[in-house]
Amino acid sequence: MDAEEKMRLRDELRAANAKAAEDAIKIAKLEGQLLEAKDFNSKFMDLRQVHGLGGAGEGGVHGGGRETPGGAHRGGRETPSGGREAQSRPRPRRSMRPTSHAPRRSC
């Protein structure tokens, strides 16, 4: 290995080290931004929980409170597209008692 090749390899190694150092600095900055974003997000989620705010599907009629999951009494089943399919409900049985507004039969 002659001196010229050693110099070339040394220069390549220095350039690679400099590039690696720049990349490490960029990565550190991005990690810092990510941590800040996560911290902000966790604070925001805490606020949402404190105030009971949520999107649709997190309680209330269209979201809001946290009493019932997914809106007030969501029946039916979820379709693959994310909608809801109506649930077939049994018809209410008619009681044998005559209702107050029904005309009485004489015979």
Question: In terms of pTM, does the model score above 0.85?
Answer: no
Q: What is the pLDDT of residue 60?
A: 46
Q: State residue 99 phi and psi, 5-degree precision.
A: -80, 160
Q: What is the pLDDT of residue 74?
A: 56
Report residue 2 as tokens. Answer: 């002659």
Which alpha helices (DSSP H) does 1-107 contain, by range? Answer: 3-51
Count of alpha carbons within 13 angstroms of residue 11, beta-carbon side: 6
Distance CA 52, CA 58 (A): 9
Residue 85 makes CB contacts below 8 A (sequence gap 6+) with 76, 77, 78, 79
Span 54-104, pLDDT tens digits: 555 554 455 444 444 555 555 556 666 666 666 666 666 666 666 666 666
Span 56-67, pLDDT tens digits: 555 445 544 444
